[in-house]
Amino acid sequence: MFEGTTVALVTPFRNGKVDWEKLEKLIEFHIERGTDTLLPCGTTGESATLTHEEHKEVIKFVVEKAEGKIKVMAGTGSNSTDEALELSGYAKEVGADGILVITPYYNKPTQKGLYLHFEKIAREVDIPMVLYNVPSRTGVNLEADTVKDLAEIPNIVAVKEASGKMDQIMRIISLGTITVLSGDDSLTFPIMALGGKGVVSVAANIVPERVKKMVDSALEGRWEEARKLHYELYPLFKVLFIETNPIPVKTALKEMGMIEEELRLPLAPMSEENREKLLTVLRRLGII
């Protein structure tokens, strides 16, 4: 259901508030450029520092402005199962096509706890769910056996894998029971070569057509074309993580005239040294 290119959408801010005008323009930008799915309120959307009300408002706004022209996978995860359940129910209520649910952070649950967390949400909210595994952010890894067990629940349809553990990713793919999406732009090509079906992309905020072309080429078996695009975009994939995401991608979007360069504390503006490295890559790729 969520094959292809999903953009991990930034949340633009202006004077401490969500910039709804710029958010609408970003949505239009992705509709025009053929992105398959929008993901509001993920890590790149600074969900950790959105208020509970803002989180809901952003999901509703994106669904309404998408107008059925582009799918919406709403980020509804939390380290509190009850809060994730509430956000997931809200996403379904306002018409999201699916939800992305991150492994609970800070709590460091066992694999049993992870299973029970996802199971409870999936059983109580009948909406397609994508699991999100990013241990570098959460402190816990969602293991292949747990993914295998969760895949038996009908509305758990995919896993966004950002563990960087290629052996684990290969094992999940080899089970053949769940769609695997890359959660790391720089690993999208190798993951798709192993059988992955797409990416949840940070870089697609900036170069949606090029990321989509790479992903579609891989899905259609045009591997030389996909490989060429991977290497062309690889410097961008890497520089977008030279500092904590979404600091670099928001800086890039500001340079493109798309949003204000505003983050919420504790995220801070890029260092001048890293900003120059980012600008060098953007210029080399003809983005600015």
Catalytic positions are 132, 160
Q: How far apart are CA 140 and CA 128, in angstroms?
A: 23
* Cα distances (Å, whole numbers) of residue 235 to 45, 99, 205, 210: 22, 30, 15, 14
Rounded distance between C-alpha atoms, residue 58 and residue 94, angstroms: 11
- Contact 85/105 with Cβ under 8 angstroms? no
DSSP 66: H
Q: Note the Cα 170 to chain centre separation in Å.
A: 20
What one-letter code names the amino acid at 276?
E
Q: What is the dihedral of CA 61, 65, 67, 69, to 10 degrees?
A: -120
Distance (Å, whole) CA 83 – CA 134: 19
- If you search the block for the tokens 């961008």, which residue do you land on? 236
* Dihedral over Cα of 153, 147, 180, 107: its sign: positive
Q: Rg (Cα) of the chain, in Å, rounded?
A: 18
